[in-house]
Homo-oligomer: A and B are copies of this chain.
Amino acid sequence: MTYVFAFDHKHRKPPMSYKDLLGGKGANLAEMTSVLGLPVPPGFTISTDACRDYMYGGWPAGLDDEIAKQRAKLEKAMGKRIGDPADPLLVSVRSGAKFSMPGMMDTVLNLGLNDESVEGLAKNTDERFAYDSYRRFIAMYARIVQGVDGEPFEHLLETAKEWDGVTADSEVTAETLRRLCLRYKEVVARSTGQPFPQDPTAQLRGAVEAVFKSWGGARAVAYRNREKISHDLGTAVNVQAMVFGNRDENSGTGVGFTRNPSTGEDKPYGDFLVNAQGEDVVAGIRNTEPLDTMGKKFPKIHKELLAIFDRLEKHYSDMCDTEFTIEQGKLWMLQTRVGKRTGVAALRMAVEMTEQKGWKISKDEAIQRVTADHLDSVLHPQFSAGAAFHVLTTGLAASPGAAVGKVYFTADDAVDAVERGEAVILVRNETSPEDVHGMAVAEGILTAKGGLVSHAAVVARGWGKPAVCGAEQVKITGKQFHVGGTIVKEGEVISLDGSTGQVVVGAVDLTVGTTPPEFDLILGWADAIRKGGKGVRGLKVRANADNGPDATRAREFGAEGIGLCRTEHMFLGEDRLPIVRAMILADTPAEEAAALEQLRVAQKADYIEILEAMDGLPVTVRLLDPPLHEFLPNVEDLAIKQATQGLDADETELLAAARSWHEVNPMLGTRGVRLGVVKPGLYEMQVRALMEAAAERKKAKGNPIVEIMIPLTISRDELGLARGWVESAIAEAKVKGVDVTIGTMIEVPRAALLADEVAEHADFFSFGTNDLTQMALGFSRDDIEGRIMAPYVEQGLLKANPFDTLDQAGVGQLVSMAAERGRATKPDLKLGVCGEHGGDPESIYFFYGAGLDYVSCSPFRVPIARLAAAQAVLGAGKASDTR
């Protein structure tokens, strides 16, 4: 096995194909060197293989020899030797993993200096430059390679400046710097018990090993967990000849983009500094100049750079991000990669590179250059990139988008304030159906309790309204709240970002969510792709919507039907709740029937609205699912009232019912189709209302397409029984010419395991991946997300929050198994997913791979799902294994 490759190594394929082996930086350096022939300081890359072998078995045998060989080649190319007392070659040693991990791993610059070679450098450059480089190298090497505390070096530098009577590092004299090197070496010797290493070979090995080790450092591990990057990849190490932008006024350094990464405009964009090093540009100590100015100072080099930009963009077929240095009038390219961009820019570039003259990326390619985050950022307001703010507390990112407003603590106060013309953030411990009028007018919602499936979170997502939930540090008392010592009173302004969970005191600048013209164009391309055809399966996108307005909005966002209409949300309306309670409390079949009759009338009206909004598209109505105690008051509240004030007859009855329907684990209790077994009239009523609504729509020349869905099924016979109820209710309704199918949720592990049997009674399966995740992992979402999820994801026990991105290794097995077994029984079984994973791109790729026909998500995720579905169909968005 070869571990080390020179930048100009002749690989069999273009170097960019070897990112696994060379890392992103190494592959790009090799590409620029050997394919594009650009001016890149020579060097070599130690592969990720070496890093992995090091991690599992220590320093690889043979690596020293390979490094020595490549070093000799490098020295020959540069005509200088590392550590040469006369004219030393200096090298940088930098990490470079397959995926960019900015700032997470270590770098050593100026390697090769020692007590002798520094003299050679001084002779060939100047003394101040040489000793400044040496003292920087000693400190950097000591900190990074030897683990020496950095503070004494800082302290000594401060003392040196005092001694010289100057304030800037750059003003310290050469003589003082020479002394500083001596003092620095003393610090090292004291701390390590060894003199500072003078042998360049030992220096190099030490630096390489330090980079290997930094892969396993705490920061790097945390970053990879957050970004879902595998810990097994390892990093490559790039050893490269140093060039110096800080040699003189004929030198400089800069970063440049081949087009504008903020707006997408097709115009090079960048920052430049004369007589400076790269870190000076990034650190923002000196004011940088735009690239245009560079054209005046270095017209030839500027022209050369723009020509390189042009070649890079054409070669990579995308916008590139570069770092470059001018050393005494010569341009060197230090790095390039395909650059990051904003959502607006991503959309504009993707379209322009497809349609612009001289470009020919395909629509397929364009689709793959836009991500969910890009779309999210144009759909929702966000905290402006440049905005400075102090985060007061962070809750759960419950509904994306940012909002600014004055805090109010009750729905009524919020409504009054909005009527006075104020922008409002509604702050509650948790919300209930009684708060809905306040939520409707608020800019954003903040709750102290509740998880991502709490009432506040679900309602907010449905409305596309920003919400931060479960911000546990927020303590509300009366008309104010505090977080630690900070008190926020009614009427004071806060900002919140429902994409990150951040809460900020005061107003933060927001970027407004505006969909640029390219938005619809790109999604139109996506739709065409995800239709499939010619032997390629398609993937449809539906929305989860529970009422007419939501259904209308979903259709505007491009939904091709409703994948989940939760009838329980209709039951929670202020006017409905008393009827639902009457049904639960009914003592006689007659009372129950009367309550069901009232519900039927109400439900029918709801269904008519939804079927109208989705006319001609399928609407999947899930029969009642939640445990009945959700419709009853809180036991504890009533029990306390009983103990203190006493209860009236109605309340006494309600308390008894609430106790009787109370469950230890309601998630695993009397809900779903089990309710149908306990209260058979219920499902019949719902189906009757639905069929009557469909009949009305037919009368109005509409085209209702109805799918009836049984929740929480666990066995063939159970589904057969429920299907029987549904079929008799359909038959009794005697509605003609309406297309009705009957299917089931697959949301309990047993149903997935026995999908072959369950399919006998199902026209379709819809995967309820929320509940399937809860049961397959034993994770009650309400309980786990607060206390357990963070440590589990941070410690890498789970690769991602399985409620955000499908746990493919576990839950995914059940989905694939059920899809396969269901289709074995019924080859044309329709398959969809209506859990929240239906709006997550990575999960969508998986679902497509598992053979699903559609995904369904909240209306505001529909554009993202359309894009991801197209990416899935293109096969580019291959589902990565999240184990």
Contacts and interface: CB of A to CB of B under 8 A. Distances in A.
Interface of A: 635-636, 639-640, 643-644, 663-670, 672, 674, 677-678, 712, 714-715, 717-718, 721, 747-750, 753-754, 757, 771, 774-780, 782-784, 787-788, 791-792, 795-798, 807, 809-811, 813-814, 883
A483 B288 CA distance: 88
A776 B749 contact: yes
B797 A717 contact: yes
A779 B813 CA distance: 21
B678 A783 contact: no
A662 to B, nearest CB: 9
A677 B809 contact: no
A666 B664 contact: yes
Nearest to A642: B640
Given A669-B783, A748-B778, 15 more contacts: A636-B636, A639-B640, A663-B780, A664-B783, A670-B783, A677-B791, A677-B795, A714-B777, A715-B797, A717-B795, A717-B797, A749-B776, A750-B811, A754-B809, A775-B775
Contact of A643 (B643, B747, B777): B643
Given A798-B715, A810-B754, A774 B668 contact: yes
Given A665-B666, A715-B797, A753-B814, A748 B776 contact: yes
B780 A667 contact: yes
Contacts of A747: 778
Contacts of A807: 750
Contact of A669 (B672, B771, B784, B795): B784
Nearest to A722: B797
Contacts of A775: 668, 749, 775-776, 778
Contacts of A674: 788
A578 to B, nearest CB: 24
A502 to B, nearest CB: 24
Contacts of A809: 753-754, 757
Given A640-B640, A677-B795, A665 B782 contact: yes
Contacts of A778: 667-668, 672, 712, 714, 747-750, 771, 775
Contacts of A813: 753
B883 A810 contact: no
24 contacts: A636-B636, A640-B643, A644-B644, A664-B666, A665-B782, A665-B783, A668-B783, A669-B780, A669-B783, A670-B783, A670-B788, A674-B788, A677-B792, A712-B778, A714-B777, A715-B798, A721-B797, A749-B749, A749-B775, A749-B776, A749-B778, A749-B810, A754-B809, A757-B883
B784 A668 contact: yes
A547 to B, nearest CB: 26
A424 B721 CA distance: 46
A795 B664 contact: no
- Most interface-central of A753, A779, A784 (chain B CB within 10 A): A753
A106 to B, nearest CB: 25
A510 to B, nearest CB: 34
Nearest to A720: B797
A30 B774 CA distance: 56
Contact of A810 (B753, B776, B788, B795): B753
Identical chains in the assembly: 2
A502 B783 CA distance: 38
A749 B643 CA distance: 43
Contacts of A644: 643-644
Contacts of A792: 677, 718
A315 B810 CA distance: 55
7 A-B pairs with least C-beta separation? A665-B780, A668-B780, A750-B810, A669-B783, A664-B782, A748-B778, A663-B783
A659 to B, nearest CB: 10
A712 to B, nearest CB: 6
- Most interface-central of A666, A783, A796 (chain B CB within 10 A): A783
A786 B804 CA distance: 35
B777 A678 contact: no
A563 B757 CA distance: 35
Contacts of A749: 749, 775-778, 810, 814
Contact of A668 (B667, B670, B795, B798): B667
Contacts of A784: 668-670
A797 B673 CA distance: 12
Contacts of A810: 714, 749-750, 753-754
Given A721-B797, A748-B777, A677 B811 contact: no
A796 B717 contact: yes
Contacts of A783: 663-666, 668-670
A775 B771 CA distance: 11
A125 B814 CA distance: 72
A718 B665 contact: no
Nearest to A810: B750
A646 B443 CA distance: 40
A672 to B, nearest CB: 8
Nearest to A674: B788
A222 to B, nearest CB: 15
A511 to B, nearest CB: 37
A798 B714 CA distance: 9
A733 B771 CA distance: 43
Contacts of A797: 677, 715, 717-718, 721
A670 B795 contact: no
A294 to B, nearest CB: 50
Nearest to A665: B780
A783 B671 CA distance: 11
- Most interface-central of A670, A677, A749, A754 (chain B CB within 10 A): A749
A211 to B, nearest CB: 25
Contacts of A677: 788, 791-792, 795, 797
Contacts of A721: 795, 797
Nearest to A776: B749
B678 A791 contact: yes
Contacts of A668: 665, 667-668, 774-775, 778-780, 783-784
A797 B747 CA distance: 17
A732 B276 CA distance: 55
A753 B776 contact: yes
Contacts of A757: 809, 883
A26 B674 CA distance: 41
A697 B872 CA distance: 62
Contacts of A712: 778
Contacts of A670: 783-784, 787-788
Contacts of A791: 677-678
A820 B753 CA distance: 16
Nearest to A627: B783
A714 to B, nearest CB: 5
A643 B637 CA distance: 10
- Most interface-central of A672, A791, A797 (chain B CB within 10 A): A797
A705 B192 CA distance: 47
A635 B782 CA distance: 18
A851 B839 CA distance: 42
A810 B666 CA distance: 21
A431 B873 CA distance: 59
Nearest to A788: B674
A669 B712 CA distance: 20
A261 to B, nearest CB: 37
A786 to B, nearest CB: 9
A838 B753 CA distance: 22
A783 to B, nearest CB: 4
Contacts of A883: 754, 757
A117 to B, nearest CB: 46
A316 B714 CA distance: 43
A380 to B, nearest CB: 29
B788 A776 contact: no
Nearest to A659: B636
- Most interface-central of A668, A674, A798 (chain B CB within 10 A): A668
Nearest to A795: B721
Contacts of A714: 777-778, 810
